[in-house]
Structure 1
Amino acid sequence: MANLDVKIREAELADLETILTFIAQKSEFDGAKTLLAATADQLQQALFSQPPLVRVLLAEIEGTAVGFAMFYATYSSLLTQPCLWLDDLFVQAPMRGMGVGTALLKHLAQIAESTNCGRIEWTVNAKNAPGIAFYEKQGARILENIRVCRMDGDGIGLLAGK
C-alpha cells in the first residue's frame, strides 16, 4: 500500500457536484445506475438544511477528492445509544487499496466515539468479496442472519393508503 497523505474533511456546499459524481459512480459500481434519481437540489437540501439529514466526509489526496462517506444518525433501543448509519462508502478505482477507505472509516469511527455512538452499521453486497474482506479487515462483523427490508415509494404509498 502506498503511503499517501489522505486528508478527510466535511463536505461544503461547493462540493455538491463532486458528491453527485461520486454517487453516480457508486451507483454504477453497485449495478444500480437505473435507480439513480439524485438531484443537486435534493442533495443540497439533505446536506445543508438545519439540522442536516445526512453528512458527507470527503477523502482528498493533494487537494483532489477521491472518495466519500455519506452517513447519518440512528438510534439503538437495545443499546439505548445513538448510532451511525454509513449509507455510502466509495473510493475511486485507482485509489482503492491505498488507505483511502480506511481513512474514511477511521474518521467516521472518531465521530462515532466522540458522540457516544454504540455502533456504526451499513450494508455490503453479498457478491462484493473485496468489500467484505476490506470491512472485516477493519474489524467489522458481517451479520449473516439479518436481512435488509426495503419499502420504496410505491410500497410506502400503498401501505399509507394512497
Structure 2
Amino acid sequence: MANLDIRIREAELADLELIVDFISQKSEFDGSKNLLTATADKLQQTLFCQPPLVRVLLAEVAGKAVGFALFYSSYSSLLTQPCLWLDDLFVQAPMRGMGVGTALLKYLAKIAESTNCGRMEWTVNTGNARGIAFYEKPGARILENIRVCRIEGSAIAQLANK
C-alpha cells in the first residue's frame, strides 16, 4: 500500500457533476450502466435538501477526487439504534489497493461511532471477490443467509394501488 496523503471531505454543491460521474463509473463497474438515471438535478434534490436524504464523502489525493462513498441513516428495531447504510463505495481503478477505500470506510466508522450507530451495512456483489476480501479485512461479516428484496418502478405503483 502506498503512503498517500488521502483527504476525506463532505461533498459540496459544486461537486454535483463529479458525484454523478462517480455514480456512472460505479454503475459501469457493477455492470448496471443500463439502469443509470442519475442526473445532477436529481442528485441535488436529495443531497442538498433539508434535511439531506443522503450524504457523500469524497476521497482526494493531491487535490483530485479519486473515490466516493454515498450513505444515509437507517434504523434497527432490534438494536433500537440508528445505523449507517453505505449505498455506494467506489475508488477509481488506478487508486485501488492504495488505502483510499480503507480511508473512506474509517471515516464512515467515525461518523457511525459519533452518531451512536449500532451497525454499518452495505451490499457487495457475490462475484466481486476482491471487494469481498476488502470488506472482510477490517472485520465485516458477509451475511449469506440474507437476501436483498427489491420492488421498483411500475411495480411500486402497482402494489400501492392494489
2:55 corresponds in structure 1 to: 55
Task: Give the 5 Å matches for 1:68-147.
Answer: 68-147=68-147
How far does residue 138 in structure 1 lie from its aligned partner after superposition? 1.6
Unaligned runs of 5+ in 1: none
How far does residue 161 in structure 1 lie from its aligned partner after superposition? 1.1
1:27 corresponds in structure 2 to: 27
> Residue deviations 1:4-48, cap 9 Å, x none?
010000000010111000000000000000000011111011110
Q: What secondary structure does 2:98 align onto? A: coil
Q: What secondary structure does 1:94 align onto? A: helix
1:44 corresponds in structure 2 to: 44
> Residue deviations 1:65-111, cap 9 Å, x none?
00000000000000000001000000000000000000000000000
How far does residue 153 in structure 1 lie from its aligned partner after superposition? 1.2
Corresponding pairs, count? 162
TM-score (norm: length of structure 2):
0.99
Looking at structure 2, the residues matched to 150 and 25 of structure 1 have their Cα atoms a distance apart, in angstroms, of 23
Looking at structure 1, the residues matched to 159 and 89 of structure 2 have their Cα atoms a distance apart, in angstroms, of 31
Q: What secondary structure does 2:147 align onto? A: coil
How far does residue 154 in structure 1 lie from its aligned partner after superposition? 1.2
Looking at structure 1, the residues matched to 154 and 127 of structure 2 have their Cα atoms a distance apart, in angstroms, of 27
How far does residue 155 in structure 1 lie from its aligned partner after superposition? 1.0
Looking at structure 1, the residues matched to 9 and 139 of structure 2 have their Cα atoms a distance apart, in angstroms, of 23
> Residue deviations 1:110-144, cap 9 Å, x none?
00000000000000000000000000002100000
User: 1:78 corresponds to which letter in structure 2?
Assistant: L
Looking at structure 2, the residues matched to 122 and 5 of structure 1 have their Cα atoms a distance apart, in angstroms, of 26
TM-score (norm: length of structure 1):
0.99
After TM superposition, what 4+ stretches of structure 1 lie above 4 angstroms from structure 2?
none
Question: CA RMSD for the aligned pairs?
Answer: 0.7
Unaligned runs of 5+ in 2: none
1:13 corresponds in structure 2 to: 13
User: 1:54 corresponds to which letter in structure 2?
Assistant: V
